[in-house]
Amino acid sequence: MFLMFVFLSFCFTSLNGVFGDEVKSVSVTEGDSVTLHTHITELLSAHLILWKTQGSLIARINREANKSSIYDEDFDGRFRDRLQVNNQTGDLTITNITTQHTGLYEIIITSKLTLSHTFNVIVYACLPLSDISRDSSQCSSCVLLCSVLNVRDVSLSWYKENSLLSNISVSDLNIRLSLPLEVEYQDTNTYSCVVNNPLTNQTQHLNINDVCQPCSDFFCCCYGLEAVIQLVISTLVGVATVTVLVYDIYSNSGGDAQKKRSKTP
């Protein structure tokens, strides 16, 4: 018996990131848009603003001429129709972002001086479907297994009411995380399996009575049947062995008798 619950995969929007002197991290969920803000005073007098990623130019703003150019055909077209710049503020917007857009983005501002600042954009994949199944080989208690694929920084936790019971995470991508939970039958606490990444989470609450039926109702009859089949098979094997043995003894003694008979004349 296998109980399976599919969690809905929701993509919650969450965004953070402020401009400063160091590399600023900006986290975003795939499918969302991210705008890299450049709130610095030098922009007001800047005449040229360049945006680069991986050493290649993706946008160029000529502020004096109030003109901008987007170079989105490189990178296998992954930026095609996804880039927008604001001619005045210099902000770069990446729309409908994907995990392929994870990386460093550099803005180079030319006024009297040339300044540059770097953003580290981290794109989190939507939390994937996760499921809970019951370990049907366990009968004395109910053992549930919650599992999910690690897309990026995914962790899996079991909660009893609001307290954390156990959690797990791995660094390797596309590895399936599995976390068991053992409960007694008739346990009335609320348990939940929580899947999260640094931006979002999804929670599945469990009703133990619904998912943990005592084995006698479902499993023991199966094991009973198996035992009966095993008994019948071993009995048959036993009978067959005895039969072969008896036949063997009988035919051997017959052969001896024939040998003796052929010697005597």
Ligand X SMILES: *[C@@H]1O[C@H](CO)[C@@H](O)[C@H](O)[C@H]1NC(C)=O
Q: Please give the residue ranges that form the binding site for ligand X (CB under 6 A).
A: 66-68, 87-88, 96, 98, 155, 164, 167-169, 194, 196, 201
Between 22 and 172, CB nearer to ligand X: 172
Q: What is the 3-state secondary structure (H, E, C) of 29-57?
A: ECCCCEEECCCCCHHHHCCEEEEEECCEE
- Nearest approach, Cβ of 168 to ligand X (angstroms)? 5
- Nearest approach, Cβ of 2 to ligand X (angstroms)? 26
Between 144 and 179, CB nearer to ligand X: 179
What CA–CA distances, in Å, run from 183 to 139, 142, 186? 11, 5, 9
- Nearest approach, Cβ of 200 to ligand X (angstroms)? 7
Residue nearest to ligand X (CB): 67
Between 53 and 68, CB nearer to ligand X: 68
- Nearest approach, Cβ of 194 to ligand X (angstroms)? 4
Between 69 and 114, CB nearer to ligand X: 69
DSSP codes of every residue in 159-209: EETTEEEEEEE-SSTTPEEEEEEEE-TT--S-EEEEEE-SS-EEEEEE-HH
The size of the chain, in residues, is 265
- Nearest approach, Cβ of 128 to ligand X (angstroms)? 16
The single-letter code of the amino acid at 102 is T
Between 139 and 168, CB nearer to ligand X: 168
Exposure string over 94-131, b if 16+ CB within 10 A, otherwise e: beebeeebbeebbbbbbbeeeeebebebbbbbbbbebb
- Nearest approach, Cβ of 180 to ligand X (angstroms)? 15
265/260 Cα distance (integer angstroms): 10
Between 150 and 215, CB nearer to ligand X: 150
